[in-house]
A and B are shown apart, each in its own frame.
Chain A
Amino acid sequence: MSRHTTVAGPDVVELQDLARQARAHIVRSIAGARGGHLGGPLSVIDMLIALYFRVLQIRPEQPDWADRDRCVLSKGHSSIALYTALAMRGYFPVEELSTFDAIDSRLQGHPDMTRTPGVDMSSGSLGLGFSGALGIALGARAAGKDFTTYAVLGDGECNEGIVWEAAHAAQRYALDNIIAIIDHNKLQQFGWHGDTLEVRLPPYTGTQLVDRWSAFGWKVFEMDGHDMSAILSTIDLARNHRGGPAAIVAHTVKGKGISFMENNYTWHARVPTPEELALALTELGEPIAPPGGGS
């Protein structure tokens, strides 16, 4: 018997369209703020849309509801993707995305649980969010709470030692109320060079990432992190795993959805020019002028 049923919400085609709109919000926000990250948010956004619209048991009108599922974006530099999903889900107005990184904004460069409704754990120094998520899951069990904690990590983030400290603890306590989703987009900010300096190698190749999580005692699933059907069905498998923690290695494309950003490490944290923004929005089938005509 399933622990949860997927929550009611948009179907797969609708989710795909929500993700398309989310990508437009992301590139507009980064262009508007003249700062922030793009490659990682675009690789993780499909999964965040699926989580917030179909997986997480949450009440956007009551962000601190004690029994809600938790979702920790441990790869905190992809904050704009989280904010976009939260806004579209109703935690705050979508228009507020234009305040990203502005002074006094609730939408900080990295997620700040003291400022943003819906942010369950601050993060940004890589690996820490996952450790916090582990503590949430440990606390949930100790308190007899039934909710599930999801932690979304980057593959580059898995360089951090604290990730493996927390992974060991989850296995040691046989926690089956935590799910790690690793956005395996195969590029970190700079990484190791290949045959030329322009060629940047993936932090982990082949099955290395799967093997590492398996070796730490986690049940590992793999999925295409851009395929909504696969995302929903794989998360369903993971959360019904019993007796220990489950990880999902999500195969993704950094910069996904905008042709000239895909698999290009220089778009990790680059601000698009007005021309690049227009091109990106055109590819996404979105009007170049923002809705409402604001900046």
Chain B
Amino acid sequence: MTLTKGKALRFVFGETVAELAETDPRIVVLDGDLGSSTGAYIFEAAHPDRFFQMGIAEQNLLGAAAGMATVGFVPFVSTFACFAVARALDSIRVLIAQPRLNVKITGGYAGLLAGMTGKTHLMFDDVAVMRAMAHMVVVAPADEVETRQAIKAIVDYQGPVYLRLTRQDSPVLFDDSYRFELGKSTVLREGGDVTVFSTGVHTTRVYEATGLLADDGIEAHLVHVPTIKPIDEEGIVEAARRTGFVVTAEEHTIIGGLGGAVAETLSDRHPVPVKRIGLADTFGESGPDDALLDKYGISVEKTTAAIKALVLERRRGTQA
């Protein structure tokens, strides 16, 4: 049941952008002095003349990317999610989102697992912030296969994109037959007891969790939602119809992330009970990965238990 180990998305980012730049002269990378962490160093080594070190100055990092986009480049901005989204938000809003400029913002080290950095660097309200911004596309791939395809897709897409990337090695979920399509969700398991939506690397944990639930007699209908904005409304509604009971699971606060997007979609289109699990309305702290996942309630085990409890509660409620 356990997925095989794969690469950290940050390295896949560096490799893929470097590879695409071989044939696409529009691609440049702007770094906020974190290239040795974010994987951008791989691009620098391959294309030193198209790598722009902007220093520890994130407002200008994002603003300069906007300027470069106006002369025809496709700039990838590489920094940590906390610095891109929180520190440089005004540059993103006024210079990138409002004019709909073709800048690809990669938020590295997003989520709970940022290598013992603590609450300053742990950014898990980034999706809520970026999703609320008009004109912004928000993508959170699950593994290396999907990340490669998603990066190609966002280069082909004309307009601003926020790409959520993570630090730690992630399992491989998809094989080479998988086809990522911007704005589309994908069904990973079919089941009739509960529809579960998840996104990003967390989908690998939820995939394992729903496997454990199946062993326990609970058949989950699992849908991976890599594009959180624009959300796949048809796919969400169709999957919700399958069971009439929805759980969302994410490595993000339960406020405004995937859970918010799914709840908004379903309350408009197909109102059914929606339960959101993920990180609470809180900030993070330092600690080893396993301890953080456990303490903040999003480990495979905690996710399994949470979904099981919700399904059992639902069964009791519908029987009563």
Interface residues in A122-140 (C-beta closer than 8 Å to B) = 122-125, 127-128, 130-140
Interface residues in B21-44 (C-beta closer than 8 Å to A) = 28
Is A122 a contact of B67 with CB atoms below 8 Å? no
Is B73 a contact of A132 with CB atoms below 8 Å? no
For B67, the closest partner residue in chain A by CB is A135
A–B complex contacts, Cβ < 8 Å, 25 sampled: A66-B72, A112-B99, A113-B99, A122-B98, A128-B59, A130-B63, A132-B66, A133-B67, A134-B67, A135-B65, A135-B66, A136-B67, A137-B67, A138-B64, A139-B68, A140-B71, A142-B52, A142-B73, A161-B59, A162-B59, A162-B60, A165-B55, A165-B60, A166-B63, A168-B55
Is B68 a contact of A125 with CB atoms below 8 Å? no
Is B71 a contact of A143 with CB atoms below 8 Å? yes
Is B64 a contact of A121 with CB atoms below 8 Å? no
With an 8 A cutoff between CB atoms, is B238 at the interface?
no
With an 8 A cutoff between CB atoms, is B100 at the interface?
yes
Is A145 a contact of B63 with CB atoms below 8 Å? no
Beyond A125-B90, A131-B59, 4 additional contacts (C-beta under 8 Å) are A114-B98, A136-B70, A139-B69, A145-B71
Which of A120, A124, A127 has a CB less than 8 Å from the CB of B59? A127
Give bound CA distance, A166 to B67, whole Å.
Answer: 12
With an 8 A cutoff between CB atoms, is B94 at the interface?
yes
With an 8 A cutoff between CB atoms, is B184 at the interface?
no
With an 8 A cutoff between CB atoms, is A4 at the interface?
no
For A163, the closest partner residue in chain B by CB is B60
Tell me the interface secondary structure of chain B in the complex.
helix
With an 8 A cutoff between CB atoms, is B242 at the interface?
no
Is B72 a contact of A143 with CB atoms below 8 Å? yes
Q: Given A131-B63, A134-B67, A135-B68, does the pair A169, B95 have CB atoms closer than 8 Å?
A: no
With an 8 A cutoff between CB atoms, is B54 at the interface?
yes
Give bound CA distance, A132 to B94, whole Å.
Answer: 10
With an 8 A cutoff between CB atoms, is B57 at the interface?
yes
Is B94 a contact of A166 with CB atoms below 8 Å? no
With an 8 A cutoff between CB atoms, is B119 at the interface?
no
Residues of chain B lying within 8 A (CB to CB) of residue A123: 94
Is B71 a contact of A122 with CB atoms below 8 Å? no
Q: Given A114-B100, A131-B59, A138-B52, does the pair A166, B71 have CB atoms closer than 8 Å?
A: no
Give bound CA distance, A70 to B46, whole Å.
Answer: 31
Give bound CA distance, A137 to B54, whole Å.
Answer: 14
Interface residues in B74-130 (C-beta closer than 8 Å to A) = 90-91, 93-95, 98-100
Is A112 a contact of B67 with CB atoms below 8 Å? no
With an 8 A cutoff between CB atoms, is B50 at the interface?
yes
Residues of chain B lying within 8 A (CB to CB) of residue A165: 55, 57, 59-60
Is B67 a contact of A131 with CB atoms below 8 Å? yes
Closest 3 CB pairs of A and B: A135-B67, A131-B63, A135-B64
Is A128 a contact of B64 with CB atoms below 8 Å? no
Is A139 a contact of B71 with CB atoms below 8 Å? yes
Is A138 a contact of B94 with CB atoms below 8 Å? no
With an 8 A cutoff between CB atoms, is A172 at the interface?
yes
Residues of chain B lying within 8 A (CB to CB) of residue A162: 57, 59-60, 63, 91
Is A122 a contact of B99 with CB atoms below 8 Å? yes
Which of B28, B50, B94, B100 has a CB less than 8 Å from the CB of A125? B94
Give bound CA distance, A137 to B70, whole Å.
Answer: 10
Residues of chain B lying within 8 A (CB to CB) of residue A172: 55
The smallest C-beta distance from A3 to any residue of chain B, in angstroms, reads 18
Residues of chain B lying within 8 A (CB to CB) of residue A125: 90, 93-94
The smallest C-beta distance from B132 to any residue of chain A, in angstroms, reads 17
The smallest C-beta distance from B26 to any residue of chain A, in angstroms, reads 10
Is B98 a contact of A142 with CB atoms below 8 Å? no
**A168-193: contact bitstring with B at CB < 8 Å (1 yes, 0 no)?**
11001100000000000000000000
Which of B50, B64, B65, B98 has a CB less than 8 Å from the CB of A166? B64
For B93, the closest partner residue in chain A by CB is A125
Is B67 a contact of A139 with CB atoms below 8 Å? yes
Residue in A114, A122, A130, A135 with the greatest tally of chain B CB atoms within 10 Å: A135
The smallest C-beta distance from A196 to any residue of chain B, in angstroms, reads 34
Give bound CA distance, A172 to B28, whole Å.
Answer: 18
**A202-234: contact bitstring with B at CB < 8 Å (1 yes, 0 no)?**
000000000000000000000000000000000
The smallest C-beta distance from A109 to any residue of chain B, in angstroms, reads 13
Is B57 a contact of A168 with CB atoms below 8 Å? yes
Which of A113, A114, A143, A169 has a CB less than 8 Å from the CB of B55? A169
Give bound CA distance, A110 to B19, whole Å.
Answer: 40
Residues of chain A lying within 8 A (CB to CB) of residue B28: 142
Interface residues in A101-122 (C-beta closer than 8 Å to B) = 112-114, 120-122
The smallest C-beta distance from B195 to any residue of chain A, in angstroms, reads 39
The smallest C-beta distance from A69 to any residue of chain B, in angstroms, reads 12
